Structure 1
Amino acid sequence: MDSVSRPPTPDGAPLLGHGLAFARDPWTAMREWAEEGDVVYLRFPGRSQHMVTAPELIQRVLVERDDEFTVSRVQQRTFEGVEENGVAATTGDRWKRLRRALQPAFARDGVRSYGDRMAERTADHVDRWDDGDRIDLLAEMRSLTLRVLCDTLLGVDVAGDEHVVHDAADALVAKTDFRRVGQLFPDWVPTPTDRRFDRAVGEMDDFVASVLADASPGEESVAGVLLAARERGDVSTAEVEDNLAGLLLAGHDSTAVTLTYAWYELSRHPEARRRLVEEVESVLDGDLPGTEEFDALSRTHDAVRETLRLYPPAFAVNRQATEPTTLGGYDLPAGAQLMLPQWVVHRDGRFWDDPDAFDPTRWGRDDDRPEYAYFPFSGGPRHCIGMRFARLELVVALATMADRVDLDVSVDGDLTFTPSLSLRPDNDVYATVRRD
């Protein structure tokens, strides 16, 4: 790429380029870089990257010209050792084959049938809390969402094995922490974080093997769907195992983080909380929410949408150009790495009034904004395969909890985030349980 066709480059540090600012505070750094233009050129140790923040350009990458882009090397490296054979990390015909194999488990009607069980599991979990209890909110939400996922999509009881999945998820977050000095070392140099990751993933591999041992091909679970695909010769054993591992890790953690932030914001905004509870009480009338009530919970949907806008669980989508292309008037070579940050676009004042404010009512207004000003589950053919499941669980779980308890959320200092794979809070988030 010559200097004429290169996008603007924000100021960076000697040697480390933009890596230092990104490791210290990616959230502020990305928003500042975006002020330079809709496409900017960034330098990191050992690589370069283009950050794209114009919704119409994001739509071109993810949807209109998706054949010119694939998952990036950054994303593939992220999942090495845990789900490199999974649908999130594979490309080309192999990705298409895996996506087809998994799709039956996430069909719309099948997913919606899980609503009743999601509500029951949530009610059981919340009913263990006593008035005045002070709970670790993220830990409780992770326990809940893992139980829901295993009970519905996998058809297994995870009781007693929760720590195995939680430890693997924590190890992956630690390994991908941008502040970790070990990320600068060659892959063959072992670090304590790498060794912890290998141990945790090994234990989760054993758990996945036990799930598969108890599953039967063709049964109504992801394990059954994948085993049937393996019998047909559509997928390998390694692909079955890695896709189940990926489902366990991302399928519980991202939903738990979103529920944590939803309660954090509802606790800070009493009027939004009042409106949501008013709707829940009217729609549910003391019953549990299920498939029939899902569509009627419009304010709950709006609270979830607004939480995903402010706190997208995966704060950026990464892509790689498969061939020379042009984007936003700039020439990109084959292999160019792209970062499409939801964190920036979801908080861009060009598309959102008072963009940093939590305002669920904005979703009831007829605001004219580009479609890809909002893409919490990515978009195009590679959108998150669990999107329908996650949306259903978030609405059902939030409504079930709001009908039973109020949570007074507290954070030690300002809310901060771990600069890693997922948008986890970097500080402890506690909640005091209030019952009427």
Structure 2
Amino acid sequence: MTDLQIYLTLGVFSAVILAIAFDVIDMAVAALLGVGVLLAAGILTDNDLVAALRTAGGPISLLFGGMVVARVLASTGLFERIGDIYLHATGGSGRRFLILLVLLVAPVCAFLPNATTVILLAPVIIRVARALKVDIVGPMVITAIVSNAAGMLTLVGDPATFLVGSSIGMSFVQYLQTVSLAGLLAVLVVIPLLPWLMPQVWTARIDLPAERPAVPLERRGFALLALAVLALMVLLFLFGEQLPVHIVPPSVAIIAASLALLVVYEVHVEPVEAVLRDIDWKTLVFLGAIFCLVQAFTQTGLLQGLALKLHDWFGVEFTLVALALLAGIGVMSSLLANVPVVVAALVMTKGYLVAAEAVPEIALGAGFTDWPAATLPVFIALMFGATLGGNATLIGASSNIVAVGICSALGEKVTFVRFLRYGLPITLVQLTVSALYVVGLFWLAR
């Protein structure tokens, strides 16, 4: 890229972010316009679009599959049954509703993709929020934020952590021993902030009617088939990559979506067209456009060029480098889709460690796993910044985009500033706790 192209790319990207932040135009339109300008200027080419959409294909497939399965499950009446159980567990208390929300979302997101979990649990959470006569936006934002943080409980819980972990050869057990506790802390610190962030929901209190007998599910056969598809999806998410055919999560989502649509078609509950019509296509388009913008941004080489700068600034002070990465990547992940940011940041981090002579130059190639123990906290800090930084804004993570899209579909517009009001304080606390955790890892490694 020439200097002019770099400045134009940064200008277009900044204009898109500002247009979304100040609600100038619809966020999907803003992102598509940005892509259009970069295409017209020749900065993005056909090959770039293919590369960007290849990267976006996984998250978009996960979202699409989750949306289809959730839409089919909604036709069974299952969400109403679970919603009734959840509502009576709250006892009519907003405080209990929010605490139970965290406890419900976190364990599910430890094993299922974040955005998929948001899609599946949203109908239940919205149903209970409306029964308690509280605003649905706050609980849905918290659902997204907790899902992102809980993704750090296991190596497979979040795409960003998985990318970093697999890149350095970190095993599932090693992750549990070194990172999972930080993921748990990132979830738990949300709870003390809830009374301050959502006082109206926290203090809400209503008298619930007497618990009514459960209404039998209509079309029980259809419900059982839909649940079987969900069970298969969960099992494949957990064990699909261990099978001989190596079924990755995006493929699992597409398989589940196709089976769910087959069930709808064969049982004749409703037309398949009706299910597909209800998919949130706007969110999928927006996510694809964001990945295209990030493709152009990473081509500027700014992230990769920081590798040598890190060495100039910090030398071999790995603790300072880790904290700088945590903060810097945290900020970047709040404005960019974290998956492509992680890809670029990994190149930058490995380049720095080579420049610092912590590892040989072959570490820049794929398959290198002989990382010294002193360097692991640097990569863990990268995980924290990429995953938790995305909690700050509505475009920072796919689950945030999904939560906002669901609210919008129900007539509740969530602006950039409104999401920031919840996301930024939580993110600052989570990153602070993570920074202390990273410092502790370095202290233990001595």
Report TM bin, short chain. under 0.3
TM-score (norm 1): 0.27
Structure number with the higher strand fraction is: 1
TM-score (norm 2): 0.27
Structure number with the higher helix fraction is: 2
